[in-house]
Structure 1
Amino acid sequence: MPRILTEAHMTSLITGRRSAWVLALVPFFLALVLIGAVGEGDRASRSTDALPAGLDSTEGTALLDRLPEAASSAAIVLFTADRGELSRDQLAALRDAGAGLADGGSPLVLAEDGTAALLAVPVPAGSAGEVADRVSALRAAADDAAPDGVQAQVTGPAAVQADLAAVFDGANTRLLLVTALVVAVLLVITYRSPVLWLVPLVVVGVADRLAAVLATQVMARVDVAWDESTVGILSVLVFGTGTDYALLLISRYRDELRTEPSRRRAMAHALRRTAEAVLASATTVVLGLLTLLLSLTPTTRGLGLACAVGVVVAAAFALVVLPAALVLFGRWVFWPRVPHVGEAVTVEADTVWHRIGARVARRPALVAGGSLVLLALMATGIGRIHLGLDQAEQFLDEPEAISAATRLAESFPAGTADPTQVVTEGSGDAVLRAVRSVDGVTSARVSATGGGVVVVDAVLSGRSGENADVVTALREAVAPYDAHVTGAEAKALDEREGSDRDLRLIVPLILVLVLGGLVVLLRSVVAPLLLVVTVVATYAAAMGASWWLFTGPLGFGAMDSGVPLFAFLFLVALGVDYNIFLVTRAREEAAGHGSRGGMLRALSATGGVITSAGILLAAVFAVLGVLPLVVLAQLGTIICLGVLLDTLLVRTLVVPALALVLGDRFWWPRRVA
Structure 2
Amino acid sequence: MSSTSTRWLRVVVPVLLILVWLVLAGFGGPTFGKLSGVSSNDQAAFLPASAESTTVQDWQKRFTDSNAIPAIVVVQADAKIPASDLARYAQLGERLGEVDGVQKPESGQATSVAGPIPSEDGKAIEFIVPIADSDEVKTVVADLRGVLKDELPDGAQGWVTGPAGLTADLVSAFGGIDGILLLVAVAAVFVILLLVYRALLLPFLVLLTSVFALCAAILVVYFFALWGWIKLSGQSQGILSILVIGAATDYSLLLVARYREALEQNASRWTAILRAWKAAFEPILASGVTVIIALLCLLFSDLNSNKSLGPIAAIGIVFSLLSALTLLPTLLAVFGRAVFWPFRPKYAEHGHEHRHAGGEQVPGLAGIRGIWRRVGMLIARRPRVTWIVSCLLLAACALGLTQLKANGVEQTDLVLSQSDAADGQKVLAEHFDAGSGSPVLIVARESDADAVLTATEKTDGIASATIYAGNVRPQSTQPGEGGRPGAAPAPEPIVKDGRVLIQATLDSEPDSAQAEQVVRELRETLPSTDSSVLVGGVTAIALDTNVTAQSDLAKIIPIVLGVILLILMLLLRSILAPVLLIGSVVLSYAAALGVSALVFNHVFGFPGADAAVPLFGFVFLVALGVDYNIFLMTRVREESLRIGTRPGILRGLGVTGSVITSAGIVLAATFAALAVIPILFLVQIAFIVAFGVLLDTVLVRSLLVPALSYDIGRAIWWPSRLWREDRVHSTAADTVV
| Aligned partners of 1:241 and 1:314 also within 8 Å | yes
SS in 1 for 2:504: strand
**Residue aligning to 1:21:** 14
State the distance in 2 between where 1:339 and 1:23 align: 28
Structure 2 residue aligned with 1:85: 80
Residue 517 of structure 1: aligned partner? 567
Of 294, 313, 316, 1:310 maps to 316
Equivalent residue for 1:237, pick from 240, 243, 246: 243
- Counterpart selection for 1:465 from 501, 509, 513: 513
Matches within 5 A, 1:251-290: 251-290=257-296
Deviates more, 1:37-46 or 1:70-79: 37-46
Q: Pick from 24, 29, 36: which aligns with 1:31? A: 24
Counterparts of 1:415-434 in structure 2, within 5 Å, are 415-424=435-444, 426=446, 428-434=449-455
1:389 to 400, 409, 412: 409
Q: Cα–Cα, structure 1 residues 450 and 615, in superposed 2: closer, same or farther, change >3 Å?
A: farther
**Per-residue deviation, 1:282:** 0.6
- Worse-superposed segment, 172-181 or 155-164: 172-181
**Which runs of structure 2 are paired with 1:156-305 in the superposition (5 Å)?**
156-221=162-227, 223-305=229-311
Cα 1:36/1:407, change in 2 over 3 Å? closer
Structure 2: where are the runs of 5+ without partners?
Answer: 98-110, 355-364, 471-493, 723-729, 731-737
Task: Give the match for residue 474 of structure 1.
Answer: 522
1:313 CA drift (Å): 0.8
Structure 1: give runs of 5+ residues left out of the alignment: 1-7
Does structure 1 residue 443 correspond to structure 2 residue 451?
no
Bigger radius of gyration, 1 or 2? 2
CA contact (8 A) 2:63 2:501 kept: no
Shift of 1:60: 1.1
When the two structures are superposed, what TM-score results if normalisation uses the length of structure 2? 0.85
2:56 aligns with 60
Q: Which residue of the partner structure matches residue 4 of structure 1?
A: none
Partner of 2:604: 554
Q: Does 1:125 align with 2:133?
A: yes
Matched residues, number: 661
Other-structure match for 1:533: 583
Matched to 2:454, the amino acid is R
* Cα distance change of structure 1 residues 253 and 368 upon mapping to structure 2, 3 Å threshold: same
Q: Which range moves more in the overlay, 386-395 or 596-605? A: 386-395
* CA distance, structure 2, for counterparts of residue 64 and residue 661 of structure 1: 64
| Cα 1:559–1:379 shift into 2, 3 Å | same
Relative distance call for 1:70 and 1:197 in structure 2 (3 A) is: same
Q: Mapping of 1:560-639 within 5 angstroms?
A: 560-639=610-689
**Mean CA deviation greater in 187-196 or 427-436:** 427-436
Match of 1:136 among 138, 142, 148: 142
CA 1:163 to 1:44, structure 2 compared with 1: closer, same or farther past 3 Å? closer
> Partner residue of 1:107?
115
Q: Aligned partners of 1:537 and 1:423: how far apart in 2?
A: 46
Question: Displacement of 1:44 after TM fit?
Answer: 8.1
CA RMSD of aligned residues (A): 2.4
Q: CA separation in 1, counterparts of 2:26 and 2:235?
A: 25
Q: Does 1:358 align with 2:408?
A: no
Aligned residue in 1 for 2:395: 376
Q: Which amino acid aligns with 1:610?
A: I
Counterpart secondary structure, 1:414: coil
Contact 1:94–1:145 (8 Å) recurs in 2 = no
- Using the alignment, how far apart are the partners of 2:324 and 2:353 within structure 1? 23
Distance in 1 between the 2:701 and 2:39 partners? 44
Q: Deviations over 1:224-246 (max 9, x none)?
A: 21212222211111111100000
Q: Give SS of 2:129's match.
A: strand
Asked if 2 retains the 8 angstrom alpha-carbon contact of 1:23 and 1:324, the reply is no
Could you say what secondary structure the match of 2:200 adopts?
A: coil
Deviations 1:507-561 (A, max 9, x none): 1000000100000000101110000001000110011100000001111121110
What SS does the corresponding residue of 1:264 show, helix, strand or coil? helix
**1:15–1:539 Cα change, 3 Å:** farther
Q: Which amino acid aligns with 2:410?
A: D
Kindly provide the CA deviation profile for residues 442-482 of structure 1, in whole angstroms up to 9, marking residues without a partner as x.
11123444765643221222342222321012123443253
Deviations 1:50-91 (A, max 9, x none): 223311111112222334442312111111123x43344544
**1:617 deviation in Å?**
0.3
CA contact (8 A) 2:519 2:539 kept: yes
Q: 1:426 to 1:385 in 2, by over 3 A?
A: farther
Task: Give the match's secondary structure for 2:265.
Answer: coil
Q: Is 1:156–1:417's contact at 8 Å kept on the other side of the alignment? A: yes
Offset of residue 286 of structure 1: 0.5
Cα distance in structure 2, aligned partners of 1:656 and 1:158? 54
Task: Give deviations 1:396-455, integer Å, cap 9, x for gaps.
Answer: 114011111012111222212422222357455454333223222111123444765643
Contact 2:176–2:677 (CA under 8 A) maintained in structure 1:
no
Describe the shift of the 1:234–1:365 C-alpha distance in structure 2 as closer, same or farther (beyond 3 A): same
Residue 403 in structure 1 maps to residue 423 in structure 2:
yes
Would the aligned equivalents of 1:15 and 1:267 in 2 still touch at CA under 8 Å? no
Match of 1:5 in 2: none
Write the distance in 2 (CA, Å) between the matches of 1:339 and 1:65: 68
> What SS does the corresponding residue of 1:66 show, helix, strand or coil?
helix
Q: Which moved more, 1:57-66 or 1:275-284?
A: 57-66
Aligned with 2:202: secondary structure? coil
